[in-house]
Amino acid sequence: MKTATPGTGAAKERTGPFTTISGRPIEALYTPKDIASLDYDRDLANPGAFPYTRGIHPTGYRGKLWTMRQFAGFGTPEETNERYTQLLEAGGTGLSVAFDLPTLMGRDPDHELSLGEVGKCGVNVTSLADMETLFEGIDLAGITTSMTINSPASMIFAMYLVVAEQQGASWPSLSGTIQNDILKEFIAQKEYIYPPRPSMRLITDVFSFCAANVPRWNTISVSGYHIREAGATAAQELAFTLRDGVEYVQYGVDAGLDVDEFSPRLSFFFNSHSDFFEEIAKYRAARRIWAHVMRDRFKARDPRSWQLRFHAQTAGVSLTAQQPYNNVVRTALQAMAAVLGGAQSLHTNSLDEALALPTADAATLALRTQQIIAYETGVANIVDPLGGSYFIEKLTRDLEEETLAHFDTIDRMGGMVEAIEKGYPQREIANSAYRFQQSVEQREKLVVGVNDFVAENEGPIGILYIDESASARQLEKLDRLRKTRDNGRVRRALDALKAGARGTANTMPLLVDAVRAYATVGEMCDALRQVWGEYEETPII
Amino acid sequence: MPQKIRVVIAKPGLDGHDRGAKVIARALRDAGMEVIYTGLRQTPEQIVAAALQEDADAIGLSILSGAHMHICPRLMELLREKGLQDVLVVVGGIIPDVDIPKLNAMGIRGVFLPGTPMQEIVDFINRSARARVGI
C-alpha cells in the first residue's frame, strides 16, 4: 500500500530499499486495514492474560523492573570475584558468569587445545575449588545467578549447588539460570562436545533433577542470541529458538516427565538488535507463539507453562571497532527495544567489545545505560506502550506467521535434532549472514563509521589486556589440587558416572558426587566422552 | 588461463564463532579463488598440514578469542620448518591494536579487524599472493 504524504502532492521518497535489518520490506504507513484480522481478546489480550502478547505480568515494570544482569568474567576466579563485588556495589541486581573457552569446552587448563585460551574470554573454572573462590563473600541465597554454560552445564551447576550448600543455602532456596541449550550450539555457536542425543539426555536429566531438588532454578535458557549473532534474520532467530524450545519440551515429555512439572522453569534468551520496531515485535510474537505451543501442542494446563520469560542482550555483532563511542548509542537504543518488548532481564554490551573484553569503566557505563532507561525515560511506567500500533501489531503478526512456516518445515524433517543433522538451520543462517554482508558492501545498509561517515586518524581507546598470568596461576592450582585431593575417591566417582551414563541413571547426582571429590571439569567431561564419543560437524559455508 | 589462488581458511583454538570465517570463505570463492575451509578447532599443526597438502598460496586465520599471540608464532614457526615461508598469512578477528605490529613482525602480512570490507581482504590477497603463483 502506498499513501501520499499529506500536503506534499506527489510522494517523494529517498532511495530505498526501505527494509529492516533482516531485509523485510516496510511500507511507508500502516493503517487499521493492516490489523483488521486481529481480535483484541484472542490475539493480544491485556498483559498477564493468554496469549500474553502484551506481557506476562499485569503490571509490567510497575511491579518489578527488569533484572540488570551484566555478563562478566575473565582471568582467574579471584579477579572475577572482584569484578562481581564491584558490579553488585554499583547496583547490579544479578550475576551472570562468563566462562573461558577451556571451561566451555570441558577441557582442563593443561590440555593441548587450551593453549593461550585460559581466562581469555571469561573466567576459568577447573574444579570446585575455583567455584568456591568465584562466589566468596557473595550470598548465593540472596542473589540470582545466570551461568552461560552449555556442554558442561551439568558439571558447573553441580559445583554451584555444592558451593551453595557450603554457604548454608538450601537447594530449594536457590534461584538462577544455566544456559544448558545444546541445540543452538550445533546450530550456531558450535561449543558442543557430545553428539545430539546424549547431549539431550544430559538436559532432560537436569529437568527432572531440578523439578525434585531445585524447584526455583531455570533449567535452560533457550537461546536465540547466538543464532542471531551468527547471521540469522529476526524471523529465523525467533523460529529456530522457539522450535528448539519445542524440541526440549518434547524430549522432556518423552523422558516421562509431566509437561507442567518442568516447563515453567524454561526460559528464553533473545538478541536485541538494531532494528528497533522489528525487535519489539519479535518479543511480542515470541510470547504469543509460545503460549499457543504450550497450551495447544503440549496440552499444558499450568499458566506458568504458557508464559514465555526472556533475557535479552544487545547485539554484540552490531558493535564496531571504528569510532567505538558510537557503540554506547547503539547499545542504548537496542536496550530500549528490549525494555519496550518486555524483557525480564537485560545485559547491555560495553563500548569496547569489538576490541576486547570490557574494562571496568566501560562495563559500568553499560550498566548506567540501563539505569537511565529505567529511572529517567519514563518507559517503565506503562505496560506494552506500543500495543495497538498498526505497525507493531502487523509486524508481530508477520513474524509469527513466518515462524510457524519454519515450524512446519522442521516438523516435516522429524524435529530439530533431525533438521540440525541435515544442516537446515546452519545453511539458512550462513545464507543470511552472507546476504547481510553483501548489503553492507554494496552500501544498501549503512553502518555509521564503517561504510559511511568514516573518521580518519582515530585515537586508540584504553582496553582490557589479559596477559598470561591467569593461565600460569590456574595451571599451578590444578597441579596442587591433583596432589592434595583423594584421587581414589575421584576415580570411584568418575567410574560411577561412566556406569550411570552407560545405563539410564540420572547423571546429576553422580556429577554432584564427582564435584564433591574435586574432580575437574575436564575429567568429568572426559569420562562422558569415553562413553558417548564426540560430535564432529560437516562445515557448511 | 590464469591459475586460481588457493586459500586455506582456518579456525584455530577452541572458539566456535565461525560467522566471519564462513563469510570470508564465501567471498573469496565468489572472487574466483579456490577456498579450502578447515572447519573448527584446528591446531597450528593441522593448519600447516592442510596448507602443504592443498598447495596453498595463502592461509587466512579467524581468531576472536584472544589466543592469537599463542597460535600465530607457532604457526609461523611450523611454516618455516616445512619450507612454506612464502605462503601469505593473514589474520582476521578481535585483535588489540598493540598486537598488530607484533604479528606483522612475525611475518603475518595482513591483520583485519571487525568492520573490514570483504573487498579489501579480497584485494589484499589478490595483490599479495599473486607474486608467488606468478600470474
Which residues 160-189 on chain A approach chain B with CB closer than 8 angstroms?
185, 189
pLDDT greater at residue A120 or residue A165: A165
C-beta of residue A417 within 8 angstroms of C-beta of residue A200: yes
- The helix (H) or strand (E) run that includes residue A526 is helix A521-532
Q: Cβ of B21: how many Cβ atoms within 10 Å?
A: 25
State how far residue B118 is from chain A, nearest Cα, in angstroms. Answer: 7
User: Does residue A6 have a cis bond before it (omega within 30 degrees)?
Assistant: no
Which residue's C-alpha cell is 553422580? A510
- Residue A6 in this model has a pLDDT that exceeds 70: no
> What value does the mean pLDDT take over residues A492-499?
98
Distance CA B125, CA A90 (A): 48
Where does A307-423 have alpha helices with state H?
Answer: 326-340, 360-375, 390-413, 416-421
> What value does the mean pLDDT take over residues A505-513?
98
User: Does A356 contact B at CB distance below 8 Å?
Assistant: yes
Question: pLDDT value at position A2?
Answer: 47
- Considering only CA atoms, give the Rg of chain B: 13
Quote helix, strand, coil % in chain B, to nearest 5.
45, 20, 35
Q: Looking at the partner chain, which of B22, B70, B96 has a beta carbon nearest the beta carbon of A463?
A: B96
Distance CA A152, CA A433 (A): 28
Q: Cβ of A23: how many Cβ atoms within 10 Å?
A: 16
User: Does B41 contact A at CB distance below 8 Å?
Assistant: yes
Amino acid identity of A294? M
User: Does B39 contact A at CB distance below 8 Å?
Assistant: yes
- What is the complex's ipTM, to 2 decimals? 0.90
Question: How distant is the alpha carbon of residue A386 from its chain centre?
Answer: 25
C-beta of residue A234 within 8 angstroms of C-beta of residue A220: no
Supply the pTM of this predicted model.
0.94
Q: How many residues does chain A have?
A: 541
| Residue extents of the structural domains in chain A | 33-441
Burial class (CB in 10 A: 0-12, 13-18, 19+), A378: exposed
Helix H, strand E, coil C: the string for A168-228 is: CCCHHHCCEEECCCCHHHHHHHCCCCCCHHHHHHHHHHHHHHHHHHCCCEECEEEECHHHH
Q: Which triple of cell numbers denotes residue A321?
A: 571497532
A269 sits in the region (left: phi over 0; alpha: psi -120 to 50; else beta) called beta
Question: pLDDT value at position A540?
Answer: 80
C-beta of residue B101 within 8 angstroms of C-beta of residue B132: no
Burial class (CB in 10 A: 0-12, 13-18, 19+), A2: exposed
pLDDT band at A92 (very low <50, low <70, confident <90, very high): confident
Q: Considering only CA atoms, which of A95, A66, A403 is closest in space to residue A234? A: A403
CATH of the domain at B22: 3.40.50.280
User: Does B69 contact A at CB distance below 8 Å?
Assistant: yes
pLDDT band at A1 (very low <50, low <70, confident <90, very high): very low
Contact across the interface for A441 and B119, Cβ inside 8 Å = yes
Strands (E), A447-492: none
- Residue A123 in this model has a pLDDT that exceeds 70: yes
- Residue A222 in this model has a pLDDT that exceeds 90: yes
Q: Considering only CA atoms, which of A266, A225, A224 is closest in space to residue A349? A: A225
Question: pLDDT value at position B131?
Answer: 62
pLDDT band at A16 (very low <50, low <70, confident <90, very high): confident
The upper half-sphere exposure of residue A74, i.e. CA atoms within 13 Å in the direction of its Cβ, equals: 19
- Residue B97 in this model has a pLDDT that exceeds 90: no
- Residue A71 in this model has a pLDDT that exceeds 80: yes
Question: pLDDT value at position A268?
Answer: 97
- Residue A8 in this model has a pLDDT that exceeds 70: no
Most confident among A48-57, A109-118, A462-471 (mean pLDDT): A48-57
C-beta of residue A285 within 8 angstroms of C-beta of residue A403: yes
Q: Which triple of cell numbers denotes residue A143?
A: 542473589
The mean pLDDT value of chain A amounts to 94
User: Does A28 contact B at CB distance below 8 Å?
Assistant: no
Burial class (CB in 10 A: 0-12, 13-18, 19+), A227: buried
Which residue's C-alpha cell is 493492516? A34
pLDDT band at A93 (very low <50, low <70, confident <90, very high): confident
Q: Looking at the partner chain, which of B41, B70, B97 has a beta carbon nearest the beta carbon of A460?
A: B97
User: Does B120 contact A at CB distance below 8 Å?
Assistant: no
Amino acid identity of A163? V
Question: pLDDT value at position B135?
Answer: 46
pLDDT in tens, A264-279: 999 999 999 999 999 9
Question: pLDDT value at position B130?
Answer: 63
Question: pLDDT value at position A183?
Answer: 98
Residue A59's alpha-carbon distances to A49, A56, A335, in angstroms, are 11, 9, 20
Question: pLDDT value at position A466?
Answer: 79
> CA torsion A130→A132→A138→A142, rounded to 10°?
120
Contact across the interface for B27 and A437, Cβ inside 8 Å = yes
Quote helix, strand, coil % in chain A, to nearest 5.
50, 10, 40
- Residue B78 in this model has a pLDDT that exceeds 70: yes
Q: Cβ of A398: how many Cβ atoms within 10 Å?
A: 16
pLDDT band at A12 (very low <50, low <70, confident <90, very high): confident
Q: Looking at the partner chain, which of A113, A185, A447 has a beta carbon nearest the beta carbon of B41?
A: A113
User: What DSSP line would sit under B54-117, residue for residue?
Assistant: TT-SEEEEEE-SS-HHHHHHHHHHHHHHTT-TTSEEEEEE---GGGHHHHHHTT--EEE-TT--
pLDDT in tens, B29-41: 999 999 999 999 9
> What value does the mean pLDDT take over residues A46-63?
97
Contact across the interface for A101 and B15, Cβ inside 8 Å = yes
Q: Considering only CA atoms, which of A286, A276, A292 is closest in space to residue A392? A: A276
Which residues 99-118 on chain B approach chain A with CB closer than 8 angstroms?
113-115, 117-118
Where does A293-377 have alpha helices with state H?
Answer: 303-306, 326-340, 360-375
Which residue's C-alpha cell is 579471584? A78
Structural domains in chain B (count): 1
Query: Is residue B1 one of the residues assigned to a domain?
Result: no
Question: pLDDT value at position A355?
Answer: 87
A201-210, A522-531, B11-20: the lowest-pLDDT one: B11-20
Contact across the interface for A114 and B14, Cβ inside 8 Å = yes
Of all residues in chain A, the percent with pLDDT exceeding 90 is 87
Q: Point out which residues pair with A345 in neighbouring strands.
A: A67, A311
- The helix (H) or strand (E) run that includes residue A146 is strand A145-148
Residue of chain A with shortest Cα separation from B27: A434
DSSP letter, residue A269 = E
Residue of chain B with shortest Cα separation from A191: B16
Chain B residue numbers touching A121 (CB-CB < 8 A): 15, 65-66
Which residue's C-alpha cell is 593461550? A116
Question: pLDDT value at position A361?
Answer: 92
Fold of A33-441: TIM Barrel (3.20.20)
> What value does the mean pLDDT take over residues A101-126?
94
> What value does the mean pLDDT take over residues A49-74?
94
Residue A49: phi and psi, rounded to 5, are -120, 145
pLDDT band at B118 (very low <50, low <70, confident <90, very high): very high
Domain that holds residue B57: 6-133
Which residue's C-alpha cell is 545430539? A196
Question: pLDDT value at position B114?
Answer: 87
Q: Which triple of cell numbers denotes residue A313?
A: 542482550
> What value does the mean pLDDT take over residues A429-448?
94
Which residue's C-alpha cell is 544455566? A178
Distance CA A153, CA A172 (A): 19
Ordered strands of the A220-223 beta sheet: A217-218, A176-178, A145-148, A94-98, A67-72, A345-347, A310-314, A266-272, A220-223
Question: pLDDT value at position A10?
Answer: 58
Residue of chain B with shortest Cα separation from A111: B14
Chain B residue numbers touching A463 (CB-CB < 8 A): 96
